[in-house]
Chain A
């Protein structure tokens, strides 16, 4: 109270004429906002605790609830926004680093929304995906530079190991620990049904999920949690995580409170101990060191699995990617500054890194210029929100996209951005058994399959409109894109012409 008091951000509005006092909201809110007051014979709420996750709103049987932005306001100030002032107050009270989760919510340009897609008219026919075959299948991995023939004169068909995907989208890394068992189960089952891959993240692989191995990417991060021989063998590919778009340059910290039971066993660390992923890999200080890890992992898996190196999109991304492409890695995954996270310092999430659109365009161009584009496939993530974003990414040069936030939305996430509290009301970013069970993987996997099926249809529609019948023919085809409202520099980096040109 007093100088410490910060007016709550949201108001819980209950329409008393509709509320039947069923107490569903009270039972469902892990933040304990709602309560039944016997004295008043009515429901009451304490909005200071509300994080606006919309769980109560979604379950109230009479639609009696809504959560609104509070209009209690400080004097307007274009320089000192309400948010900034609040953050100063919070830090003045706590003396701590501010934590947040999910992706950068700030008003930076979204280049996807400033790029438009072409369509055929008159001079080249469009294709109807409902009547004609349309290929959305992609394979990721090193591609040969030229056709070579063996001693017998026959073409050598052996390729380095590849990942096969029914569509150019994968679920990106979210560790068991940061998200729940049921969230992992939903992702694994959906990936298997869809013929795509999901990614374990850095927390190891729960023993129950080894059976989804063919549709799994196992991750090796700086903390090396849960990494052992069977784990490396379990998936179709291994990803070395060097960085994450939401928090480039820093590591991770999963509080000991979340290291319980299966999470501790899967991570191979004692219960209750904090899981700290160091900022760098302590054995990687150069591309040569990275090469050693890439080849150690290849040796360990007898060169049967492609190695992905995941980096955050930062200023020198093109040069970094060029180094990675020469390190022996098969796939480079780049995570833009809008990528999500289970917890990150707010300041880093909101101020570090660069947009994925620019990173992708410059990396693809650089690798082409250096004649090493075939050395690697490119996977991009960091806020791919729709099939249109996927199409634009592929046309800018990506082989496939990573999605995580969109997948969590399908599972019920309402982007309240308080994953770091571990009290996710939707059973996603939590380890509390009573909350975890709110996500039934039967429902979750079905919704993921629906979302991806819808995107795949839209991808085919957009390709058909352009007169393209194979996603391979779209890759790097920047002529299919035009910019709107972009300046010369932005257009140059994106390698696209302005609309009207």
Chain B
């Protein structure tokens, strides 16, 4: 399965991935309309200090602790992709606590959201990768177990 991998050596900390993510998942076709004048809720987050920066999103783990820990059965694995059913999430934050990558975070509506590789939105492939100016994140098959 194709996953998003990080090449932190090339990350500029520009945060474009966050904006591209928020836009791709907005359901709107106009970035200005989608993002202007509001806080954004991306599903990828740039971690940075003076020396290094890198963008983290869900690793789509082989053995996902979030799925095991979800008390409402909102998280599931479908064709290797870890997905969340927002209608089932009760916003207990258990997944936020257990995910070692910080890949889950509250959405604007309060329930949790996470990266689903843009497979469910109009982009069809990870918008963060597509818009990264320096190939600091790539979407590729590395033959890892699902």
Dominant SS among interface residues on chain A: loop
**Contact: A437 with B9, CB < 8 Å?**
yes
Between A17, A21, A22, the greatest number of chain B beta carbons within 10 A of the residue's beta carbon is seen for: A22
Closest B residue to A55 by beta carbon equals B133
Q: Which residues of B contact A28 (CB under 8 A)?
A: 12, 14
Number of interface residues of A (CB under 8 A): 20
**Does any Cβ of A come within 8 Å of B142's Cβ?**
no
Shortest Cβ distance from A77 into chain B, in angstroms? 42
Q: Which residues of A contact B11 (CB under 8 A)?
A: 437
**Contact: B134 with A440, CB < 8 Å?**
yes
**Does any Cβ of A come within 8 Å of B74's Cβ?**
no
**Does any Cβ of B come within 8 Å of A61's Cβ?**
yes
**Does any Cβ of A come within 8 Å of B145's Cβ?**
no
**Does any Cβ of B come within 8 Å of A23's Cβ?**
yes
- Quick one: CB contact mask for B17-43 with A, threshold 8 Å, 1 for yes? 001100100000001100111000000
**Contact: A442 with B135, CB < 8 Å?**
yes
**Does any Cβ of A come within 8 Å of B86's Cβ?**
no
**Does any Cβ of A come within 8 Å of B15's Cβ?**
yes
**Does any Cβ of B come within 8 Å of A265's Cβ?**
no
Closest B residue to A442 by beta carbon equals B135
**Contact: A61 with B10, CB < 8 Å?**
no
Shortest Cβ distance from B36 into chain A, in angstroms? 5
- Quick one: CB contact mask for A18-34 with B, threshold 8 Å, 1 for yes? 11111110011000000
**Contact: A24 with B32, CB < 8 Å?**
no
**Does any Cβ of B come within 8 Å of A110's Cβ?**
no
CA distance A25 to B9 in the complex (A): 21
**Contact: A61 with B16, CB < 8 Å?**
yes
Shortest Cβ distance from A162 into chain B, in angstroms? 37
**Does any Cβ of B come within 8 Å of A62's Cβ?**
yes
Q: Which residues of B contact A74 (CB under 8 A)?
A: none
CA distance A17 to B31 in the complex (A): 12
CA distance A434 to B51 in the complex (A): 8
Q: Which residues of A contact B9 (CB under 8 A)?
A: 437
Shortest Cβ distance from A448 into chain B, in angstroms? 15
**Contact: A23 with B15, CB < 8 Å?**
yes
**Contact: B19 with A61, CB < 8 Å?**
yes
Closest B residue to A439 by beta carbon equals B134
Closest A residue to B18 by beta carbon equals A22
- Quick one: CB contact mask for B116-146 with A, threshold 8 Å, 1 for yes? 0000000000000001011110000000000
- Whether A20 contacts B131 in the complex (CB less than 8 A), given A59-B16, A437-B12, A440-B10, comes out as no
Which of B12, B13, B36, B133 contacts A20 (CB under 8 A)? B36
**Contact: A438 with B16, CB < 8 Å?**
no
Which of B15, B35, B36, B134 contacts A438 (CB under 8 A)? B134
Number of A-B contacts (CB under 8 A): 55
**Contact: A59 with B32, CB < 8 Å?**
no
**Contact: A22 with B135, CB < 8 Å?**
no
Closest B residue to A23 by beta carbon equals B15
Which of A18, A22, A58, A62 contacts B15 (CB under 8 A)? A22
Between A20, A59, A442, the greatest number of chain B beta carbons within 10 A of the residue's beta carbon is seen for: A20
**Contact: B13 with A27, CB < 8 Å?**
yes
CA distance A24 to B20 in the complex (A): 12
CA distance A364 to B62 in the complex (A): 67
**Contact: B32 with A20, CB < 8 Å?**
yes
CA distance A168 to B118 in the complex (A): 45
**Does any Cβ of B come within 8 Å of A257's Cβ?**
no
**Contact: A27 with B32, CB < 8 Å?**
no
**Does any Cβ of B come within 8 Å of A443's Cβ?**
yes
Shortest Cβ distance from B118 into chain A, in angstroms? 16
**Contact: A443 with B134, CB < 8 Å?**
yes
CA distance A437 to B134 in the complex (A): 9
Shortest Cβ distance from A262 into chain B, in angstroms? 15
**Contact: A438 with B12, CB < 8 Å?**
yes
**Contact: B19 with A22, CB < 8 Å?**
yes
**Contact: B10 with A437, CB < 8 Å?**
yes
Q: Which residues of A contact B19 (CB under 8 A)?
A: 20, 22, 24, 61
**Contact: A61 with B36, CB < 8 Å?**
no
Q: Which residues of A contact B10 (CB under 8 A)?
A: 437, 440
Which of A19, A21, A22, A59 contacts B133 (CB under 8 A)? A59
**Contact: A27 with B14, CB < 8 Å?**
yes
CA distance A443 to B134 in the complex (A): 7
CA distance A443 to B133 in the complex (A): 10
**Contact: B15 with A20, CB < 8 Å?**
no
**Contact: A17 with B32, CB < 8 Å?**
yes
**Contact: A24 with B14, CB < 8 Å?**
yes
Q: Which residues of A contact B131 (CB under 8 A)?
A: 61
Closest B residue to A64 by beta carbon equals B32
Q: Which residues of A contact B133 (CB under 8 A)?
A: 58-59
**Contact: A20 with B135, CB < 8 Å?**
no
Given contacts A23-B15, A440-B7, 17 further A-B contacts (CB under 8 A): A20-B32, A20-B37, A21-B36, A22-B19, A24-B19, A27-B14, A28-B12, A28-B14, A59-B14, A59-B16, A61-B131, A62-B32, A437-B11, A437-B134, A438-B12, A443-B134, A443-B135
Q: Which 8 A-B pairs have the closest CB atoms?
A: A20-B35, A440-B10, A20-B36, A440-B134, A22-B19, A24-B14, A18-B32, A440-B135
Q: What is A's interface to B at a CB cutoff of 8 Å?
A: 17-24, 27-28, 58-59, 61-62, 434, 437-438, 440, 442-443
Could you name 26 residue pairs across A and B whose Cβ atoms are closer than 8 Å? A17-B32, A18-B32, A18-B36, A19-B36, A20-B19, A20-B31, A20-B36, A20-B37, A22-B16, A24-B19, A27-B12, A27-B13, A27-B15, A28-B12, A28-B14, A59-B16, A59-B133, A61-B20, A61-B23, A434-B12, A437-B9, A437-B10, A437-B12, A437-B134, A440-B7, A440-B135
